[in-house]
Amino acid sequence: MDRVQLRLTQIFFLVLVLCVARGPNAQGLSYDFYDKTCPNVEKIIHNVVSQKLLEAPVAAAGALRIFFHDCFVEGCDASVLIASRESNKAERDAEINLSLPGDGYDVFFRAKRALELQCPGFVSCADVMAIATRDLVNLVGGPRWEVKKGRRDGLISKASRVDGNLPQVNQTIPQLISLFKSKGLSTMDMVALSGGHTIGFSHCKEFMPRIYGYNSTFDIDPTMNQEYARTLRSPCPKKHLDPTVVALNDVTTPFIFDNAYYHNLKKGLGLLASDQMLLLDPLTRGYVDMMAADQQLFFNFFVESMIKLGQVRVKTGSDASSNTVKLERDAEINLSLSGNGFDLFFRATTAVESHCPRVVSCADVVAIVPRDTGSMGPTPSVPLNARSSCTESMATSNLTWTQPWTKTMLKNDAQNDPTALTLDNAYYRNHLQKVFGPKNSGLCEFNGQRSRCVLQSLHHSHDQVGYYKGQDRERGRDHARLWII
């Protein structure tokens, strides 16, 4: 293909990309989705991922790969972040996902925690993944694009659904094209998204068949640069394979997002068999030639493909976790619950997540915090391992006592007790003196100095409340799932 013909072909495909529909058209997504609820969402995420990238340069490749794996299984719904539990093996523990890098997960969790401090309960993990991935690609030299928001987090994550939904290194180009087509992505999208291998790495087992005993005629894959293949044998010995050893996907500029990946394919430096086949198969060779010849064209293709990828089977409205359901905290009787109280729980959960990510449930946090904040009160031991509920609906908030207040009263709160900031028996003393006079009612002796009787009863009642309808492992939500949603 001569230069003029190549350039005309490039222009044709660029116009085609800009004019055709952008693959999956996700209703309900918008650029201004969080303008009122969390206007600084992108700035908050950007600050977090920038810091993470300084600590771990591999975070960009890790996040990009995890985002891709998430979108291809259940759609872009953050279900890949859900941890397994005894009754369910989640996506992230499917065999093909076991190599997904921890730094990729960590950057998403950090961004989510930062958002929970500023805008608790508003930004979905699915949107965090889409925005953080975009920023990380851009920070390592790649293009930047606008991200539509409004994705809901998925509630289903099963390892059994991963098989057949992710590309395999030994698949043929027609097989890969068919897989991408099933997700609403074209052959061009497949080649452009494969360019993401310009950053990142692969484990030895992914390319071992190419460098040892390729077939009866060749010991090394003949389409591979032979010197390059021999250098890979040193870190990846045939008989003593170390699962922790990895090789860079791009041997020239491994931490820069550019079009070197396509140049490498032309030199036989593609690491994975599926990478090298992009150049060898006539169905995809033309795209490789174009993207190798013009980095900006590759960036244009990559942006369009990432936008389409980010809209694959997204859940919006009432498809998954949704703001259209009126939650328990918004039931009328709960409208008076203090914002400072919610804030205290969010802060405690964030602190715990910093030290023990995805281990401690919010149900346990909610049990421990009131015990520790009871000023001068008792400190009962708190049984742990309560699961967080999977149901959060106003309809289940069936409190039955009479409501002695109206909405207008919420603006004019009054103290329940003259010693409102101290946990003592003054509440009972005030009522008994009003009803029975200053003498002891017989319930418990008190004289202003003694509160032990009441506090011991409170201690016992606190324990009883803590056990009330506790979620067991089958009915409740896994610790990690709580934080993700």
Q: Per residue in 265-287, is it b (16+ CB within 10 Å) or e — as a string?
A: beebbbbbbbbbbbbeeebbbbb
Reading the block at residue 89, the tokens are 């093996």
CA dihedral defined by 205, 141, 262, 223, rounded to 10 degrees? Answer: -30
258 labelled as ligand-binding?
Answer: yes
70 labelled as ligand-binding?
Answer: yes
The amino acid sitting at 30 is S
Rounded CA separation 308/184 (Å): 8
Among 69, 263, 462, 479, the active-site one is 69
Reading the block at residue 462, the tokens are 């606190």
77 labelled as ligand-binding?
Answer: yes
Rounded CA separation 192/303 (Å): 9
203 labelled as ligand-binding?
Answer: no
Q: What is the DSSP string of 448-468?
A: SS--HHHHHHHHHHHHHHHHT
CA-based nearest residue to 424, from 392, 394, 457, 393: 457
253 labelled as ligand-binding?
Answer: yes
CA-based nearest residue to 366, from 468, 438, 233: 468
Contacts of residues 398-403 at CB distance under 8 Å and 24 or more positions apart, as own/partner, are 399/331, 399/333, 403/332, 403/333
How many CB atoms sit inside 10 A of residue 20's CB?
A: 10
133 labelled as ligand-binding?
Answer: no
Q: CB burial class (10 A; 0-12, 13-18, 19+) of residue 416? A: exposed
250 labelled as ligand-binding?
Answer: yes
How many CB atoms sit inside 10 A of residue 426's CB?
A: 18
How many CB atoms sit inside 10 A of residue 346's CB?
A: 17
- The dihedral built from the CA positions of residue 234, 238, 243 and 248, taken in this order, carries a sign that is positive
Rounded CA separation 437/459 (Å): 27
219 labelled as ligand-binding?
Answer: no
Which residues contact residue 229 at a Cβ distance below 8 angstroms, ignoring those fewer than 6 apart? Answer: 210, 211, 220, 221
Cβ atoms of 115 and 44 within 8 Å: the answer is: yes
79 labelled as ligand-binding?
Answer: yes
91 labelled as ligand-binding?
Answer: yes
Q: Residue 69 catalytic?
A: yes
Cβ atoms of 24 and 312 within 8 Å: the answer is: yes
Strands (E), 22-101: none
Continuous segment of H or E residues that includes residue 202: strand 201-203
- The dihedral built from the CA positions of residue 40, 33, 310 and 154, taken in this order, carries a sign that is positive
Which residues are part of a known binding site for Ca(2+)? 70, 73, 75, 77, 79, 91, 198, 250, 253, 258
- Binding residues for heme b, by number, are 197
**Residue ranges of the binding site:** 70, 73, 75, 77, 79, 91, 167, 197-198, 250, 253, 258
Active site residues: 69
Instruction: Please state the residue numbers annotated as binding site for substrate.
Output: 167
